[in-house]
Amino acid sequence: MNAEILSIGDELLIGQVINSNQAFIAERLNTVGIYGDKMTTVGDQKEEILSAFGRAYESHDVVTVTGGLGPTHDDITRAVVCTFFQTDLIINDEALENVKRIFARRNTDPRKINEEQALVPRGCTVIQNRLGTAPGYFFERDRKVFIVMPGVPYEMKAMMNDFVIPYFEKRDTGLIIRHRTLKTTGIAESFLAEQIGDVRELFSPDSGMSMAYLPSSFGVRLRITAKVKSIEDAENKIRSVELKLRNKIEKYIYAADEAELEDTVGKLLTERRLTLSVAESCTGGLITDRITNVSGSSTYFERGIVTYSNNSKIEELGVSPGLISQHGAVSREVAEAMAAGIRVQSRTDIGLSTTGIAGPTGGSPEKPVGLVWIGYSDQDNTFAIQFHFGGERRIIKERAAQAALELVRRTLLKSTE
Amino acid sequence: MNAEILSIGDELLIGQVINSNQAFIAERLNTVGIYGDKMTTVGDQKEEILSAFGRAYESHDVVTVTGGLGPTHDDITRAVVCTFFQTDLIINDEALENVKRIFARRNTDPRKINEEQALVPRGCTVIQNRLGTAPGYFFERDRKVFIVMPGVPYEMKAMMNDFVIPYFEKRDTGLIIRHRTLKTTGIAESFLAEQIGDVRELFSPDSGMSMAYLPSSFGVRLRITAKVKSIEDAENKIRSVELKLRNKIEKYIYAADEAELEDTVGKLLTERRLTLSVAESCTGGLITDRITNVSGSSTYFERGIVTYSNNSKIEELGVSPGLISQHGAVSREVAEAMAAGIRVQSRTDIGLSTTGIAGPTGGSPEKPVGLVWIGYSDQDNTFAIQFHFGGERRIIKERAAQAALELVRRTLLKSTE
């Protein structure tokens, strides 16, 4: 089955909001064998929405629509849905109760425009909204499925997970689609392609398998896809391709699928019963933010200190003032002293540090914007590595945080080689 | 002039990558009077790309295409562009030099597939790529403009800023489009709409003005749009609507346009020559990460400590062990002690703290997941406020960081009321 994923909203067309709904819906539909082969975004205008509905409905088994269900004057999706399916609005009691319940929780009464959100197109199946006031709708006609959901991401996600995916899981869609993504860092796309060689060595052209390279500023991901008849077949074929790839490029792969580098580092630390503390300057808390995105990180992450001033480096980490005045705050010596300082003070096994120039100001010919020293300290070794990152302030912070976590991963793996 | 913004890539259609390119291109084209009225995403298949090219070119003055220009087997956009414009490939010397230069910087020679990236469609204008190996192309035919760029965001952005926008700035597009966005937090969409009242009080229907509500999990943004004949007219009309809105809802507005809450807080601190330090538990470094995204934040941000363990709260912030055992780490008392502790220790004017349960584990009936105490301390006052945030771990971290920064903003503003 194929799907078109349709988004409605002027805020998307003027680029004010990045559309994350389409990716979420596509990924979830994929898991039940529905392949989104087109994504479209149109504005809050009746004629454009109607014509987009028509084209999407004509050539797809499934159409999802998000956006324009709110209570204000610029929300017109519901009216256009009624026109498209030649129906009118009726009140839905459960949706009305939901609106009242939400406002009771806020200790206030709903306004008229809120209560009107309980009006739904006659003939649809209502998808109740447990996180907001606007219900979704669901039409099953001509062997096709037409789904309308709010554009607020967490409301839409709850409807997808609670209603839409379970609905399709109960239907037989014929083809199974499975993906596996291997994430690499520290190697350019063309070198990776060279090490991997001809894809025909990985799978035959008629096997239902494919592989794609997905470069980003952090590294290159490799996506293996199986479009086959059974889950078992998909899993076996993906496993075989993954093994062949790992034989060629294992050391560059830091994680697979949803896992992030901080998950891998957390797993390594947990397995080895090691603890970590972090002293950040230029990354400003981003490393500890990523580490603490992992549930359970409190078992290996003890503390982090963002020492943005020289004074805080001296007071919090015991970096000697002479070291800073002699080498500058952005130097191998200070990075090493920060890593050793946070490790000793917090009595953790490993100390990690960053000091650099995130820009746009503060650079010099000797120490340009993008220069970052990353320090590592454990009971046997203390060292720092120099990096030169391109990009603007936020990108430099992100690349430095990625490189710091990767340094921990590779050092831990090397220690057991 | 209108535009269709076209993205190519299976990674988008399976939802692996969130498409941020479309929003960026739309926003930039808007500034030169080009309105993107449609965004489309199709996969790496020749027939789908060709038919998307045809439909977009037929009904739009400008078509932008991103993705599928890389060196590997799944990149087919260039070949389809040749088919569409009935042309063939020729080598572009400048692009070849660029490939060689990039590889020289890496101290290595380009591979054959890298050198082939210097092949471009005959008859196009080449857009050189200063950040990568794949050049962009530009066709001007039938009074229409067809632009092809790489899908790697920072490469595309550089081409837009260096080439595409300057190109259109030199042309007269007739209509001026300007936007202004006011960002609010701490008030629901329907209450905001009620306080604002009928939009006809803000502008007349034939004025070329419009306004939209854009809710998110952090708050509601209000976007004012002018589509008029001159920049002066646009600016005057937007200013007038903004003034009327500010008269109604000033206190909820924390920033406008690109500015984030951390920019506003930074500006307030700079104006008042105040300094800030932060002690984070459940937000794990996200607050200091946001604060340090602002260039120049080192003038008011002194240090931050992520005290993830009880021990680190005691050692780093001087929180008494008895306080933690009596009230628990997630409590008003500990939030206050953390805020006061970081303020005193770092000798800053203000101390800010968070302690809460980000989940998914660690909740209890008395202290459920989402409970967060935010503490504030200055020389006159120390207090903490309780919040209950919905959502999963990352959302709770984000909402808590937003609320903490907003607490600083409102407290600073109140102190001068």
Cis status of the peptide bond prior to B215, with omega within 30 of 0 = no
Question: Is beta strand A176-184 parallel, antiparallel or unpaired with respect to A253-256?
Answer: antiparallel
Q: How far apart are CA B186 and CA B137, in angstroms?
A: 46
Distance CA B318, CA B340 (A): 9
B residues 86-115 lying closer than 8 A (beta carbon) to A:
106, 110-111, 113-114
Distance (Å) from the C-alpha of residue A380 to the closest C-alpha of chain B?
Answer: 24
Question: Of A308, A319, A353, which to mutate for an interface test with B (greatest number of B Cβ within 10 Å)?
Answer: A308
pLDDT on residue B173: 61
How close B397 comes to chain A (CA, Å)? 8
Task: State the DSSP string of B179-236.
Answer: EEEEEE-SS-HHHHHHHH--GGGTS-TTSSEEEEEEE-SS-EEEEEEEEES-HHHHHH
Q: What is the CA radius of gyration of chain A?
A: 26
At position A375, the amino acid (one-letter code) is G
Q: Distance, in angstroms, between B348 CA and closest chain A CA? A: 12
* DSSP string across B356-389: E--SSSS--SSS-TTEEEEEEE-SS-EEEEEEE-
DSSP-derived pairing of the beta strands A350-356 and A276-280:
parallel
Average pLDDT over residues B2-10: 95
Which pLDDT tens digit goes with each residue over B296-321? 999 999 999 999 899 999 999 999 99
CB contact (8 A) between residue A16 and residue B393? no
Q: Domains in chain B, start-ordered, CATH in brackets?
A: 2-169 (3.40.980.10), 176-256 (3.30.70.2860), 261-414 (3.90.950.20)
Closest chain B residue to the Cα of A150, Cα to Cα: B215
**Number of neighbouring beta carbons within 10 Å of residue A263:** 18
B74: closest chain A residue by CA: A212
Kindly report the backbone phi and psi dihedral angles of residue A99, in degrees, each rounded to the nearest multiple of 5, phi listed first. Answer: -60, -45
B225-268: pLDDT as tens digits = 888 888 899 999 999 999 999 999 999 999 998 899 999 999 99
Chain-centroid distance, C-alpha B196: 26
pLDDT at position B384 over 90: yes
Q: Do B18 and A23 touch (CB under 8 A)?
A: yes
pLDDT of the residue at B327: 96
Name the CA dihedral angle for B278, B279, B285, B287, rounded to a multiple of 10 degrees: -40
Q: Tell me the DSSP string of B191-207.
A: HHHHHH--GGGTS-TTS
pLDDT higher than threshold 90 for residue A326: yes
pLDDT > 70 in chain A, percent: 98
Residues A211-261 pLDDT 10s: 888 877 778 999 898 888 888 999 999 999 999 999 999 999 999 988 999
Beta strands in B288-410 (DSSP E): 301-307, 350-356, 371-377, 382-388
Q: What are phi and psi of A414, to 5 degrees?
A: -65, -35
Q: Which of A21, A180, A275, A288 is best to mutate for the B interface (most B CBs within 10 A)?
A: A288
Contact B393 A293 (CB under 8 A): yes
Contacts of A190 in chain B (CB under 8 A): 71, 110-111, 113-114
Q: Reduced to 3 states, what is the DSSP secondary structure of residue B69?
A: coil
- Shortest Cα distance from B141 to chain A (angstroms)? 25
Contacting residues for A82 by C-beta, under 8 A, at least 6 apart: A88, A89, A121
> Is it true that the peptide bond before B321 is cis, omega within 30 degrees of 0?
no
Tokens for B44? 């790496």
How many residues can be counted in chain B? 417
HSE of A377, CA atoms in CB hemisphere, 13 A: 26
Scanning A297-326 for CB atoms below 8 A from B yields: 297-298, 301-309, 311-312, 316
**Each residue's pLDDT tens digit, A283-310:** 999 999 999 999 999 999 999 999 989 9
Structure pTM? 0.76
Cα–Cα distance, B176 to B233 (Å, whole number): 9
Token pair, residue A114, equals 């809120």
pLDDT bucket at A417, cuts 50 / 70 / 90? low
pLDDT at residue B70 is higher than 90 = no
Interface test with B, best of A25, A305, A394 (most B CBs within 10 A): A305
Which residues does chain B have within 8 Å of residue A156's beta carbon, measured at their own beta carbons? none
Q: What is the pLDDT of residues A258-282, one digit of tens each?
A: 899 999 999 999 999 999 999 999 9
Check: CB of residue A377 under 8 Å from CB of residue A339. yes
Which of B48, B214, B305 is opposite residue A11, by nearest beta carbon? B214
Using CA coordinates, name the residue in chain A closest to B17: A23
Q: How far is CA A8 from the centre of its chain?
A: 22
